[in-house]
Amino acid sequence: MDLFSGNRTLREIDSDGNTAAAEALIATNEPILSFDTAYNLQLAISQYEPFVAAGGWEEVPQEAYGLSSGKKGKPAIALKRRLISSGDMALVENVDDVVDEVTDRGIRTFQARHGLIVNGKIDEPTWYALNVPAQTRLNQLYLNFQRVQNLAPNLSERYVVVNIPAATIEAVAGGMVEQRHVAVVGRVDRATPIMASKISQINFNPYWHVPKSLVRKDLTKYMQENPNYLAEQNIFIYDGSGNKIDPATINWANISDTEVNYMYRQEPGAANSMGHCKINFYNPYDCYLHDTPTKALFGENARFHSSGCVRVESVHQLVSWLLRDNGDWTQDRVNATFESLQRLDVKCEGQVPIHTTYITAWANRQGTVSFRDDVYNFDAQGKTTFEA
């Protein structure tokens, strides 16, 4: 019986099961940043070195674009060999030209390891990631081993890690990840700074004071395109004496320094750029974690859209975790405070350390190695340490 004939391929393939299996390989409770990560990276290096010395993996042709379960053709052969080379697909006796059950699982495993949307399709981000040379990946392992070694001695029992290349956040306690959050971080021209600090305060339903840099870069452009933009976004302008300024009195095509220095304040509410909360930590960059009304961005492959601050998916859960030492801040109370739109500032008694980091390769004890793109070009520069 030919298991792969006609439409039987599509019926036989358990796409949801393959996705769940792929995500389980990376969704462990092991932190990206820990002493164990350094050991796991050493093991990964020992596996990649002989493989790279032997020539690495072959390229996947552009004709592989669009391959998915049930499709067949010569490019599928090169795809299978590539997936077998990196351990994403089990070794098979005969590499044929059909994207079958095993290949579908291999594609999804590869996507999960590289932080891509797990859809089982050779889309553009997947094809590009497949064609990163093995030598480049080995170099990433070397660099990140050194980064983790430099950072691990400074870790405490409980900490938060923002990994910029992965655009993720981990809340770690006792060497285990207790929460993991998808994030949106700074774009290349407005990068999220790398630093270590302590989380000091939660601002519930905050005002947002538009930074002067964004007044010049963004607000002037938006107001020229739409004179009602400030009103629609619930943003009000105040001078140094606290008097409200009419936006119509400002020449947005040629704004003065005095007008840039006015206070531009967005009121709490559904449209507020901070969403329902702002998480403050000590730093000279005016950088913080926060909620956001634009949650669709969390579903993207490349989540590099902010002006340097970090947007947090399911931030209400992280807030409850951070306020654990404050006594009565249960998850229900956090949720209710969000919904109330009450302005409230709460000092974090725990002062949990936070590390914004740049880790583009890591591994877990199962041997699963994850990679991310070198978005800020720090791998290319060979950087292993960063100014605090």
Is the pLDDT reported for residue 256 higher than 70? yes
* pLDDT given for residue 269 in this prediction: 80
Predicted pLDDT of residue 183 = 98
Residue 370 has pLDDT above 60, yes or no: yes
Residue 374's pLDDT is 97
What number is the average pLDDT over the span 179-193?
Answer: 97
pLDDT at residue 388 tops 80: no
Closest CA to 220 of 189, 188, 247, 242: 247
- Yes or no: say if 266 and 292 are a contact pair by the CB < 8 Å rule: no
**Residue 347 pLDDT > 80, yes or no?**
yes
pLDDT score recorded for residue 2? 33
164 and 283 housed in the same domain: yes
Kindly report the pTM of this predicted structure: 0.90
User: Does residue 354 lie within any of the structural domains?
Assistant: yes
| Segments forming the whole domain that contains residue 65 | 8-27+57-132
Asked if residues 192 and 185 have their Cβ atoms less than 8 Å apart, the reply is: yes
Is residue 277 part of the annotated active site? The answer reads: no
Same domain, 216 and 360: no
Q: pLDDT tens-digit profile of 138-167?
A: 999 999 999 999 999 999 999 999 999 999
Residue 47 within any structural domain of the chain: no
Q: Are residues 280 and 347 in the same domain?
A: yes
Residues 225, 180, single domain; the answer is no
pLDDT at residue 11 is higher than 70: no
Q: Domain for residue 378, yes or no?
A: no
Q: Over 60: is that where the pLDDT of 168 sits?
A: yes
Q: Which of 181, 309, 316, 355 is labelled catalytic?
A: 309
Q: Is residue 379 part of a domain?
A: no
- The yes-or-no verdict on residue 76 having pLDDT over 60 is yes
Report how far residue 201's alpha carbon sits from residue 333's, in angstroms, rounded to the nearest whole number. 16
d(CA 201, CA 349): 9
Structure tokens given for 371: 């990679």
Q: Is residue 37 part of a domain?
A: no
**What is the token pair recorded at 245?**
């300024």
Distance of CA 298 to the CA centre of its chain: 8
**Whether residue 295 sits in one domain with residue 236:** no
Q: Is residue 171 part of a domain?
A: yes
- Identify the CATH number of the domain in which residue 128 sits: 1.10.101.10
Under a CB-based contact definition with an 8 Å cutoff, are residues 288 and 278 in contact? yes
Q: How many CB atoms lie within 10 A of CB 221?
A: 13
pLDDT at residue 209 greater than cutoff 70:
yes
Same domain, 237 and 157: no
Average pLDDT score over residue span 47-57: 96
Read off the pLDDT of each residue in 31-41 and give the average, rounded to a whole number. Answer: 94
Find the helix or strand (DSSP H, E) in which 229 lies.
helix 229-232
The domain boundary residue, chosen from 266, 285, 313: 266
147 plus 201 within the same structural domain: yes
Check pLDDT > 80 for residue 9: no
The model's confidence at residue 8, banded by pLDDT at 50, 70 and 90, is very low
Same domain membership, residue 324 and residue 294: yes
- Return the pLDDT at 368: 96
Tell me the per-residue pLDDT of 108-124, one tens digit each, with 9 for 90 and over: 999 999 999 999 999 99
Please tell me whether residues 118 and 21 are part of one structural domain: yes
Looking at the structure, do residues 112 and 65 belong to the same domain, yes or no?
yes
Identify whether 309 is a catalytic site residue: yes
Per the prediction, the chain carries an average pLDDT of 93
Q: What is the mean pLDDT of residues 327-335?
A: 95
Here the CATH number for the domain that contains residue 336 is 2.40.440.10
More confident of the two residues 212 and 372:
372
> What percent of the chain lies above the pLDDT cut of 70?
96
User: 235 exposed, middle or buried (CB, 10 Å; 0-12, 13-18, 19+)?
Assistant: buried
Domain limit, last residue, from 102, 132, 162: 132
Domain contains 230: yes
Say whether both 364 and 303 belong to one domain: yes
| Residue of 301, 378, 371, 383 lying closest to 137 (CA atoms) | 371
Place of tokens 């004179």: 227
- pLDDT over threshold 60, residue 301: yes
Number of domain units in the chain: 3
Contacts of 199 (CB under 8 A, 6+ apart): 160, 279, 280, 281, 322, 348, 350, 351, 352, 353, 354
Domain annotation covers residue 48: no
- Set 181, 276, 290, 316: catalytic member: 290
Do both 247 and 326 map to the same domain?
no
Which of 92, 110, 132 terminates a domain? The answer is: 132
